[in-house]
Protein backbone atom coordinates (compact mmCIF):
# COMPACT_ATOMS: atom_id res chain seq x y z
CA UNK A 1 0.00 0.00 0.00
CA UNK A 2 1.42 3.38 -0.96
CA UNK A 3 1.61 6.37 1.37
CA UNK A 4 -1.01 8.13 -0.74
CA UNK A 5 -3.43 5.21 -0.35
CA UNK A 6 -2.79 5.10 3.39
CA UNK A 7 -3.41 8.85 3.76
CA UNK A 8 -6.68 8.53 1.85
CA UNK A 9 -7.84 5.61 4.02
CA UNK A 10 -6.87 7.34 7.26
CA UNK A 11 -8.56 10.58 6.12
CA UNK A 12 -11.75 8.62 5.43
CA UNK A 13 -11.58 7.11 8.94
CA UNK A 14 -11.23 10.57 10.48
CA UNK A 15 -14.25 11.87 8.57
CA UNK A 16 -16.26 8.86 9.67
CA UNK A 17 -15.30 9.41 13.32
CA UNK A 18 -16.22 13.09 13.12
CA UNK A 19 -19.71 12.18 11.89
CA UNK A 20 -20.09 9.40 14.46
CA UNK A 21 -19.16 11.67 17.37
CA UNK A 22 -21.42 14.45 16.06
CA UNK A 23 -24.31 11.99 16.46
CA UNK A 24 -23.19 11.22 20.02
CA UNK A 25 -22.88 14.89 21.00
CA UNK A 26 -26.13 15.12 22.96
CA UNK A 27 -27.03 15.94 26.54
CA UNK A 28 -25.21 17.89 29.19
CA UNK A 29 -21.89 16.06 28.87
CA UNK A 30 -21.62 15.11 25.20
CA UNK A 31 -18.94 12.88 23.71
CA UNK A 32 -16.34 14.86 21.82
CA UNK A 33 -14.06 13.93 18.95
CA UNK A 34 -10.81 15.84 19.16
CA UNK A 35 -7.66 15.78 17.09
CA UNK A 36 -4.64 15.49 19.36
CA UNK A 37 -1.04 14.72 18.58
CA UNK A 38 0.08 14.35 22.18
CA UNK A 39 -1.26 13.59 25.63
CA UNK A 40 -0.94 17.30 26.48
CA UNK A 41 -3.21 18.17 23.53
CA UNK A 42 -5.74 15.64 24.76
CA UNK A 43 -5.66 16.89 28.35
CA UNK A 44 -6.33 20.49 27.23
CA UNK A 45 -9.74 19.33 25.98
CA UNK A 46 -10.66 17.48 29.18
Could you read off the pLDDT of 2-17 as tens digits, one per residue? 777 778 888 898 889 8
Helix (H) or strand (E) holding 45: none
CA neighbor of 35 nearest in space, from 45, 24, 25, 20 = 45
What is the Cα–Cα distance from 44 to 37, expressed in whole angstroms? 12
pTM (two decimals): 0.55
Position 35 confidence tier, pLDDT thresholds 50, 70, 90:
confident
Output the CA torsion 9→10→14→19 (10° steps): 20
The CA–CA distances, whole Å, from 10 to 6, 44, 45 equal 6, 24, 22
pLDDT for 8 equals 86
Amino acid sequence: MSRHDLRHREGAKIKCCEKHFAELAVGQNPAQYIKATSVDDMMRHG
